[in-house]
Amino acid sequence: MVRQMLLSLPVAVVIGLSAQVTAQDNKIPDQAREILEKASQFELLSIGHGPSTKKPAEDFRGWPVIGKTTVEDLDTRNRLVAALEKGVEENNGDSMKCFNPRHGVRVTHDGMTADFVICFECFQVVVYVTGDKEQRFLITASPAPVFNQTLQHAKVPLAREPGKKK
C-alpha cells in the first residue's frame, strides 16, 4: 500500500504543477486586452435566459440577447475593464464545467472587434477576436456587481439567476 502511494506521488505532483501553471498563465489574451482597453465602441450585453419567454430578436455568439447598452462614459468603461481585469487576476485556476453566460462585452478598436462571453457562475470567459479562433480564460464572480449595476442603470433587464424559472 505504501509502495502504491509513493508511486502515485509523482502523478499528484505533476497534476498539482499543471494546475499552478494554468493559474499562472491565466490572462486576457493580449490582442483582446488591447482592443478592450482602447475601445472606440463599447457595448455591454445581458445574455442568456431572460425574464421573457419570447424568442429574442438578436443573439450574441449563439446566446440570446436580453438587452444591451452602449457604454459612452469613460469612467464607466474604466470601471468595467478594471473589474474584469481584477476578476482575472483573482482567479487561482478555479472553474466549473458548466457554461451559463449572462454577460457579454463587444468592443471595437482600429477595425478589430473582440467579443467576451462571460459566465461569472462558473468563472469562465470565452473571447473571440476578429479573424481568430476562440480563446478562454478564467475569472471570479467579483466583477458581476459592477456589470449588473451598469446594466440596471441603463434599464437593461438582467438574465435569470441560476436555478430560477422566471
Q: What is the residue-averaged pLDDT of the chain?
A: 85
The pLDDT value recorded for residue 53 is: 67
- Name all domains of the chain by residue range, CATH numbers in brackets: 26-153 (3.30.1490.410)
Would you tell me how many other CB atoms lie within 10 Å of the CB of residue 164? 9
Q: pTM for the complete prediction?
A: 0.82
Closest CA to 36 of 156, 151, 153, 118: 118
pLDDT in tens, 69-128: 999 999 999 999 999 999 999 999 999 988 999 999 999 999 999 999 999 999 999 999
pLDDT at 148 over 50: yes
pLDDT at 137 over 70: yes
Distance CA 47, CA 68 (A): 9
Helix/strand/coil for 108: strand
